[in-house]
Structure 1
Amino acid sequence: MSNFWVNLYKFPRFLIGVFLGFFLTTFQPVFQLLKKKKGGVIFIILILIIIGTVYKIINKMTGIE
């Protein structure tokens, strides 16, 4: 039974490590892209397009204009 509590104690550290690894692996190409001036401009334009699209979709879905 003590082995169960030891494993349960280790689980939050494991979960934090998994999430941290996921985000670092996912966003590493974005960080590499931001190092270049042209890549940064493309990234900012892409983010603005995504935000604008999501904003318009939510407005249409809720009927608020």
Structure 2
Amino acid sequence: MYNFWNNVYKFPRFLIAVMIGFFLTTFRPVFKSLKNKKVSIIKMLIIIFICISIYLILKEMTE
């Protein structure tokens, strides 16, 4: 029974580590490509558009 609770105790730390690793490996190439000024403006506009679209879709789904 001790092993069970020990594993339950370790799970939140594992989950946080996996999520941080996912976001770091996903967004590192994006941040590296944003160093070019011309490309960064276009990419930022696309990211803003995607975020607004997701927000509006979720807002309509919850109403």
Same fold (TM over 0.5): yes
Deviation at 1:29, TM superposition (A): 1.2
| TM-score, length basis structure 2 | 0.69
Task: Give 5+ residue unaligned stretches, structure 2.
Answer: none
The answer for the alignment partner of 1:2 in structure 2 is 2
Number of aligned residues: 58
RMSD (CA atoms) = 2.5
| TM-score, length basis structure 1 | 0.68
- Sequence identity of aligned pairs in percent? 56
Task: Give 5+ residue unaligned stretches, structure 1.
Answer: none
Q: Could you say if the C-alpha distance between residues 5 and 27 of structure 1 is closer, same or farther in structure 2, counting changes exceeding 3 Å?
A: same
Bigger-Rg structure (1/2): 1
Partner SS state of residue 21, structure 1: helix
Aligned 1:1-65 pairs, distance under 5 A: 1-50=1-50, 54=53, 58=57
Partner SS state of residue 17, structure 2: helix
Deviation at 1:8, TM superposition (A): 0.7
